[in-house]
Structure 1
Amino acid sequence: MASLYFTRGASNLLRLLKTSSDGCICKKLSTDAKNSSPAFSARHSALRNKGLIVQFRGLSSSSAGSVGEDGTTHERGQIPQVDRSSSADSRQYHTPSCAPLPQLDVPVDEQFGKPSPFKGMDTEFPCVSRNRSVGPDPEYAKIVSGYKVFNSKEAFYLKYNNAVLPEITVAYETWGELNEEKDNAVLIYTGLSASSHAKSHEENPAPGWWEKFVGPGCAVDTSKFFVICANHVGGCYGSSGPSSINPLTNQAYATTFPVVSVEDMVRAQFLLLDHLGIYKLHGAVGSSLGGMCSLMAAALHPDRVARLVSISGCAQSHPSSIAMRYIQRKTIMCDPNWNSGHYYDGVFPKMGMKLAREIGTMTYRSGPEWDHRFGRKRIEDTDHISLCPTFLIENYLEHQGESFSNKYDPNSLLYISKAMDLFDISEGCPSLTEGMSRITCPVLVMGVQTDIIFPIWQQREIFTALDEAGNEAVTFYELNSPYGHDTFLLDLNGVGAGVKGFLETDMVEKGWLTKHKHRLPK
């Protein structure tokens, strides 16, 4: 059996190596005297006789059982007992849960005459192996009802790369009644991964992603407003996106789908408004990506937006958020099953999608909330520690990744997150102030002090740019919520009350209070 020899002291080790047959400790050395130099064999025997060398077996990542030197077979997962006899020559550690490995000689503790102990870790990692399954079919592919569809058979030209789609589809849902003047419409722009299902209704009774914020008497009051919510172009819940069928090939677009921008998303939804016969919105309301869209809507169509709400958004994406979304995209694109985006007839890239969601979840909430909810609490009270999750926060992230991984198309996450990175309201303008000057309607800007992915200074930047551009009807709310970026989904008192008041207030004063009493310090 091949062995690797260690002696006490560097000088002894060097002398031992100099007398070996090949002079390299990195190569297997034979214990058979016939295959070793006489000098090496003599020195090794002398060291062993003095009790300065013993042998043990380490762990292997192999899942097969192992056979010890005594002929005993150890099944996978079985940890054999250590022979603790007094003879130094018999102190050998059998291989637990693994196939035989080359023996490794270790020094004896000279003071007590015992071998240095070794008890390794089982190399079974269920937290990794249980993630290898692709799981059930993606859920987003099953959502084919509960929403309306607007189809435009005209070519849709996109902002980048001179790209064009032969046709475009926008999935949408509505609540409330459109009045005769058609001036009570409120368009809700969604975040990155949300569908058009903001609120439950008869065709789809499942709770919506903004269930408590939309409805009679709610923040967006359906007894007063005709409320519209659409799935973004590039998404996977009914609107044109990578998972849609290209009518020219009768195959999924996959990554042949053109790069989309926030501007493209807004233009597509204004085509929907044209289809519905709505010229001017009472309000454009959006959070996160939707907050970008509401700003872009008022900039592109100042005569068609009466007021806008931007919650936890930004005027332009900054390096920190770009970097985080880049890492999310990379986890998907490095999944072998992603197959350059052509996985619709193959294996779903679940692992990449799961990791991307886990990374994203870290930015959606805040450190103070993690401390309050999880602290350093462990999953179970045990002394057994492995490389798999130990703390509740790890378990929570894994759950979030697992539950989301089948609900959204990985390609859609790539495309829409890229659109967020590319967003800059001042693109094509000499400055951010000039870009914001196109927005002339009253504006409500809301931000959260604990937001990580869209930090509060980005909402302050929106307010300041609008103010410097001469917009006197800007209101800014800075919320002290522990929920981070997800505050717009959870805070009815802060977000809900602010949105309701802004949408329903008569704007005669045109932001006078904001201008004279609540200006941010320079």
Structure 2
Amino acid sequence: MRRETVYEDQRISIGSFVLESGKELDEVELAYERVGPKEAPVILVCHALTGNQYTVGRKQDGWWEGLIGHGKYVDTSEFQVITFNVLGGCNGSTGPLSRNPFTNRPYQADFPFISVRDMVHSQKRALEALGIDRLHAVIGGSLGGMQVLEWGILYPDAMEHLVPLAVTPSLSAYGIAYNAISRHAITTDPEWKGGYYDQTHPPASGLATARMIGMISYRTDEMFQKKFGRRVIAKPEDHHEKALYDVESYLHYQGKKLVGRFDANSYLYLLKAMDNHDITRGRDAPIEEVKANVLAISFKGDLIYPPKDLEALFSLKSRFTIVDTKYGHDGFLVEFDRWGQLIKEQLQEPSKIQRSG
């Protein structure tokens, strides 16, 4: 008999929260989506830079609905799936758009810097508030993959399986360089105003440019050539503002689309968290702390998170695979038939963690 699937789209309060930096946030909330049978094993999904808590597509398009859902690779008739909008995000969790209880105005640039470890600690607190102390698995790609790695190190007894995708132990100089250009685009926009911009007039041009930069780094040159080539969509003009080539139009569209749904301050805070992430920071042998079964997945042609770095981390003690794709880094968001079955099989593997009691 099919068990009743429940759906929640809510916020959970975790009270005051002390960050790695020692600074304290008051009245912290995390927004979350929860779907699956009430008593089913829980899978935590961690989202990427511009993702959110909506993975399965109930109230809006789910960014991983090709992977997660009833009868899919992560089957919501067998598992309960929870995704939190990260601390510092702009989809309901405490972040730059939130009200600062001391000023009664949005934090904006007064929001303190956060780390990936802060994100994970806040999610652990939120899960405890929801009455959840055991996870069947933690899954995520890119910034989500960074969270997955930290989950395995910070809370090694909390889950049976770890599935980091499209990630590396730390962000490379190449990745930081792309983020630096994106940061420059936003902070030099005339509407930036030191981060205290009018919400009705955000630094739209800078954020759109940052997104365009990101889109180039997320895909491979082969993919761009295959999808767009030199296809012309307009007659040559005597000015520079109009897109002549299809690839130009695509990038402009992606930039405009992000401006309509994402806050520039949040974008910058999350970029900084990614830049600063390094699992070896303050640790001698962090990967030795991991107890869960690990399936690590990289994607061919990933410029930002080179597969060789994740392979070096996990190939000797865990399952590691490189997915052959033309999508590069964005492979973790598409072509689920190429790698979804690996996750499905991983979730059926027996636990190797010895429990006491």
TM-score normalised according to structure 2 size: 0.93
Q: 1:517 corresponds to which residue?
A: none
1:437 shift after superposition: 0.8
Whether contact under 8 Å (2:293, 2:352) holds in the other structure is: no
Q: For residue 28 of structure 2, what is the amino acid of its counterpart?
A: I
Whether contact under 8 Å (1:191, 1:288) holds in the other structure is: yes
In 2, Cα distance between the equivalents of 1:410 and 1:236? 9
> Which of 410, 434, 459 in structure 1 is aligned with 2:310?
459
Deviation string 1:352-385 (CA, Å, 9 cap, x unpaired) is 11111111110111111111111122223x4556
Matched, 1:318 2:172: yes
> Which of 335, 341, 346 in structure 2 is aligned with 1:491?
335
Over 3 Å counting, the alpha-carbon distance change for 1:508 and 1:426 in structure 2 is closer
Matched, 1:502 2:355: no
1:462 shift after superposition: 2.5
1:244 shift after superposition: 0.4
Whether contact under 8 Å (1:445, 1:462) holds in the other structure is: no
Whether contact under 8 Å (1:243, 1:344) holds in the other structure is: no
Q: 1:156 corresponds to which residue?
A: 17
Matched, 1:443 2:305: no
SS in 2 for 1:357: helix
Kindly report the root-mean-square deviation, in angstroms, between the aligned alpha carbons of the 2 structures.
1.8
Q: 2:83 corresponds to which residue?
A: 229
1:48-67 matches, cutoff 5 A: none
SS in 1 for 2:214: helix
Q: For residue 19 of structure 2, what is the amino acid of its counterpart?
A: L
Over 3 Å counting, the alpha-carbon distance change for 1:345 and 1:287 in structure 2 is closer
SS in 1 for 2:56: coil
1:62-141 matches, cutoff 5 A: none
Whether contact under 8 Å (2:292, 2:351) holds in the other structure is: no
Q: For residue 17 of structure 2, what is the amino acid of its counterpart?
A: F
1:152 shift after superposition: 2.1
Matched, 1:336 2:190: yes
Q: For residue 240 of structure 2, what is the amino acid of its counterpart?
A: L
Structure with bigger RCO (C-alpha 8 Å, 6+ apart): 2
Q: For residue 304 of structure 1, what is the amino acid of its counterpart?
A: A
SS in 1 for 2:66: helix
1:258 shift after superposition: 0.5
In 2, Cα distance between the equivalents of 1:168 and 1:326? 29
In 2, Cα distance between the equivalents of 1:251 and 1:358? 31
1:456 shift after superposition: 1.7
1:110-259 matches, cutoff 5 A: 147-153=9-15, 155-160=16-21, 162-179=22-39, 184-201=41-58, 204=59, 206-259=60-113
Deviation string 1:53-78 (CA, Å, 9 cap, x unpaired) is xxxxxxxxxxxxxxxxxxxxxxxxxx
Q: For residue 10 of structure 2, what is the amino acid of its counterpart?
A: K
User: What is the percent sequence identity of the aligned residues?
Assistant: 34
Over 3 Å counting, the alpha-carbon distance change for 1:199 and 1:362 in structure 2 is same
Whether contact under 8 Å (2:57, 2:63) holds in the other structure is: no
In 2, Cα distance between the equivalents of 1:265 and 1:509? 24
Q: For residue 196 of structure 1, what is the amino acid of its counterpart?
A: Q
Deviation string 1:106-130 (CA, Å, 9 cap, x unpaired) is xxxxxxxxxxxxxxxxxxxxxxxxx
Matched, 1:367 2:221: yes
Whether contact under 8 Å (1:366, 1:483) holds in the other structure is: yes
1:386 shift after superposition: 4.3
Gaps of 5+ in 2: 1-7
Q: Which shows bigger deviation, 347-356 or 500-509?
A: 500-509
Q: Name whichever structure is richer in strand by fraction.
A: 2
Q: Which shows bigger deviation, 221-230 or 497-506?
A: 497-506
1:234 shift after superposition: 0.3
Deviation string 1:412-449 (CA, Å, 9 cap, x unpaired) is 0000111011101111123xxx1111112110100011
1:486 shift after superposition: 1.2
Over 3 Å counting, the alpha-carbon distance change for 1:384 and 1:334 in structure 2 is closer
In 1, Cα distance between the equivalents of 2:257 and 2:352? 47
1:257 shift after superposition: 0.6
Gaps of 5+ in 1: 1-145, 511-522
In 2, Cα distance between the equivalents of 1:171 and 1:248? 22
Bigger Cα Rg: 1
Over 3 Å counting, the alpha-carbon distance change for 1:509 and 1:436 in structure 2 is closer
In 1, Cα distance between the equivalents of 2:11 and 2:236? 56
Q: For residue 286 of structure 2, what is the amino acid of its counterpart?
A: G
SS in 2 for 1:277: coil
1:402 shift after superposition: 1.3
In 1, Cα distance between the equivalents of 2:261 and 2:237? 34
Whether contact under 8 Å (2:296, 2:314) holds in the other structure is: yes
Q: Which shows bigger deviation, 322-331 or 257-266?
A: 322-331
1:254 shift after superposition: 0.6
> Which of 377, 387, 398 in structure 1 is aligned with 2:240?
387
Q: 1:290 corresponds to which residue?
A: 144
Give the number of equivalent residue pairs. 346
